[in-house]
A and B are shown apart, each in its own frame.
Chain A
């Protein structure tokens, strides 16, 4: 069957695939995740329990899933792109109907014993679906507005559903992630300019319809010192943690802001502040370096791929990965409003860890199957 759809290429043997895995990338992922383990160890005042050990187990399981994803044929992923997107969309719809309410928003659905956050799954499947779409569109058609309508609908549907949860941050992430694929697929500049040009005024218009807490977050972001004990507290304490860390930090398990509980959510969204407090600017820059290397791998794989789906997929997922990093770190530094975005591979949490490792699995799958050529019209 693979032969049938895979054109002239022979199926690649399993041992060959494993040999071809990007072991350097896997090593980098492990190194980055280890930084996370270290911080979770510190967060528990120098104990593996309760966070570091659980995170390690999740990471280990995620790593296996990642490799399975990586050695799965890219053509299968291509074929599954639309169905997986549809499933994720249905689950998002299900959240609307029967979701679990937590932290003031409806974000989870229960499937048997596990709670799933469909918006996390959508982050991958949307990129897959959009990549799949542009894979099948000729260069001329990319420039035709008619051909842009289907992928725009693909983005708009989940974004609207996530916005209703309400989760502004994730909605923007979905739009931005898909936007990256649009951009590298060759959609003309002026169309982006047009969309951004209309988005900003309509953003001001949409502001009127935001929930009170979301409005407040934006206002507090603009001036955190105005409310040091209220909602601005998080940003303020995070900046204090960062600033007081200095160049070399206060030392491992020595962060006063984090260990004395002044720093909120230090295991999840604000874990970077804790890292930068304990290891200083040096620690922060080392993490930046790890992230940049990870992304460099993503780019290299995208460029190396012989098929357009692989290129778009690898670059789109790398782009989403970057957005996570940027939004999270910019948030804890007080550059963007507080939106619930975890720091990739570092923050404590199962769903985001799994999502990221699956993303990297897909990126590696692009590499493992880099030489498979897929015709635009064949699918």
Chain B
């Protein structure tokens, strides 16, 4: 019953519907076109972005090389360390995550503040260490609750461990976290950005950081939007750091540290032929393990304010007037220059005059008439005023330099000091003053401007004892001379010590004096002789004034060293070598504010030499030689 109008209506409907269909078809084509644009034309770009999304490059920290002593004892090793890291971009609120974490394990406020600071500084996907050295209990508690801790990840790392604690603190140093400053100063290495990565901060750890560090491996992993690793795509292992062999003997070091006790002191024991530093002691010391795990403020303040300076390595960074231990150099300079003959004699009446100044001998009554050998034996100051004046300071300085004083010895450590050997030129250049005769007198007895380090004194003694050869100290053994070694020439036993050209007769004379110091009837250190036959020790005591004794004091009564406050007491020094007839080891000992060298330092030097001879750290080499 359709009317014409209704037919018209239906036709209009059909027309409009077809227009509609056309419009819809056009829009569908737009979608198809867009699909083509995205999935064909721009496919490569989006494929890359999809891969960037899912693939994460992770650095694998290499195992740090170990540090061992000359017999392979580990003095720095690696130990497992359970730790928590936080990845900012995986959590909505860092604060909230930290709150939840601290319900499970104690998170200190300092850690919290540090993490919050680092989250702002580092890129979102970089894991930030929150806590380290967790107990197994804490570790598993966090593990169980990990679903409620977005952004928190657990891992097991390696941490540096120093089994001998304070024994090697000054030699080996310690490792620590990479600081902002390290990032600027060090060669760029992606490892430095790795969370919790530790680099050498001091000592051998710092000096040999690059070779100990090793190279990073990489692992490409597929991760989901929440950062969870789904699987590893491929892995390239890095290489562990190289092990490092020290010349130190752990047993000897242990003995030496114990022997020094609670003094503020330093000692160096060195092989006079190879230059191997067998022991280097600076007490008091500190536990480097505290530094690797992050030292507490209290402990740090304690170390810094301690008057005995535990943080400083006195063996290389302590500069002391050598006192009478310098007299061998003065004697050699005079003999070599020919200004005195081998039987030159001086009469000591307790003092000598230079212009209006009076220079005193340590012995108030005087020594009487002395030759060179007994002047060394009894450490007569007047004798050395005399010959120093004769030879002049520049010749003395030249001889001192040849024996290793006044310059850095380039031991592989940071912070080594060069000491100071004055000369006329030096005084003019640095002080702008002319050299005075009195200055020479002071240099003659190792006082005045002269400064040396215990290491330098040990090297000086070694060069005297080995017959004037230029042995260089070393702390790290060269790489083993195996067949596969790149440099087979660099044999560890092959030490080229050049003869420094010092007259043998003059040396013999000086060494004889040193023998008498310990073994002579009037020797200043005769109380400290080594009685074992064949192990006889030769040495020289020194007592270095910390401050000048005023004329007024001298007129009234000079306070004995041990009557003064600790910091005004004299430094006690002793250098020695043994055995006298077949010299092998040299030692230098300094006890800060210890008083008399012959009374305080000599017994220590004797004990150290006896111990090194007993242990004989060079035995392996002798076995090779045989």
Contacts and interface: CB of A to CB of B under 8 A. Distances in A.
B225 A262 contact: yes
B67 to A, nearest CB: 43
A330 B32 CA distance: 10
Given A247-B39, A281-B35, A257 B28 contact: no
Interface stretch (B42-50, B419-427, B463-471, B473-481): B42-50
Given A180-B20, A326-B27, A243 B13 contact: no
Interface string B8-22: 111011101100110
Contact of B21 (A138, A288, A299, A375): A299
A247 B31 contact: no
Given A261-B224, A288-B28, A330-B31, A281 B46 contact: no
B32 A285 contact: yes
Interface in A281-340: 281, 284-285, 288, 291-292, 295, 299, 302-303, 308, 311-312, 315, 319, 322, 326, 329-330, 333, 335
B259 interface: no
Contacts of A242: 35, 38-39, 46
Given A139-B5, A139-B9, A260-B54, A281 B40 contact: yes
A210 B548 CA distance: 89
A132 B54 CA distance: 54
Interface stretch (A85-93, A153-161, A182-190, A212-220): A182-190
A322 B42 CA distance: 27
B559 interface: no
B53 A243 contact: no
B16 A183 contact: yes
A245 interface: yes
Given A139-B12, A184-B17, A315-B17, A256 B38 contact: no
B245 interface: no
Given A261-B224, A326-B27, A281 B50 contact: no
B1 A333 contact: no
Contacts of A259: 224
Given A260-B230, A281-B36, A244 B49 contact: yes
Nearest to B230: A260
Nearest to A185: B13
A261 B43 CA distance: 20
Interface of A: 7, 138-140, 180, 183-186, 237, 239-247, 256-257, 259-262, 276, 280-281, 284-285, 288, 291-292, 295, 299, 302-303, 308, 311-312, 315, 319, 322, 326, 329-330, 333, 335, 373, 375-376
Nearest to A233: B225
Nearest to A291: B28
Given A261-B224, A284-B35, A288-B31, A186 B21 contact: no
B20 A288 contact: no
Contacts of B36: 281
Given A185-B16, A262-B224, 9 more contacts: A186-B12, A240-B50, A246-B39, A246-B43, A260-B222, A261-B226, A288-B32, A315-B20, A326-B24
A247 B47 CA distance: 12
Contacts of B40: 246-247, 281
Contacts of A302: 13, 17
24 contacts: A138-B5, A186-B13, A240-B50, A240-B53, A242-B46, A243-B50, A247-B40, A256-B53, A260-B223, A261-B226, A262-B53, A262-B224, A276-B35, A285-B32, A285-B35, A292-B28, A295-B24, A308-B9, A322-B27, A326-B24, A333-B34, A333-B35, A335-B30, A375-B1
B16 A260 contact: no
A246 B50 CA distance: 12
B343 to A, nearest CB: 92
A140 B8 CA distance: 11
A216 B514 CA distance: 91
Given A139-B9, A184-B16, A333 B38 contact: yes
Q: Looking at A244, A262, A284, A288, which has the most chain B CB atoms within 10 Å of its CB?
A: A244
B6 interface: yes
Given A244-B49, A261-B225, A326-B27, A303 B14 contact: yes
A280 B40 CA distance: 9
Nearest to A183: B16
B2 interface: yes
Contact of B54 (A185, A262, A312): A262
Given A138-B5, A295-B24, A376-B6, A243 B38 contact: yes
Nearest to A138: B5
Nearest to A299: B21
B348 to A, nearest CB: 88
Contacts of A184: 13, 16-17, 20
B306 to A, nearest CB: 51
A110 B10 CA distance: 42
Q: Looking at A237, A240, A262, which has the most chain B CB atoms within 10 Å of its CB?
A: A240
Interface in B22-78: 24, 27-28, 30-32, 34-36, 38-40, 42-43, 45-47, 49-51, 53-54
Q: Looking at B13, B21, B224, which has the most chain A CB atoms within 10 Å of its CB?
A: B13
A308 B35 contact: no
Contacts of B1: 7, 373, 375
Contact of A303 (B17, B32, B39, B224): B17
B31 A329 contact: yes
B47 A244 contact: yes
A336 B466 CA distance: 91
A90 B107 CA distance: 57
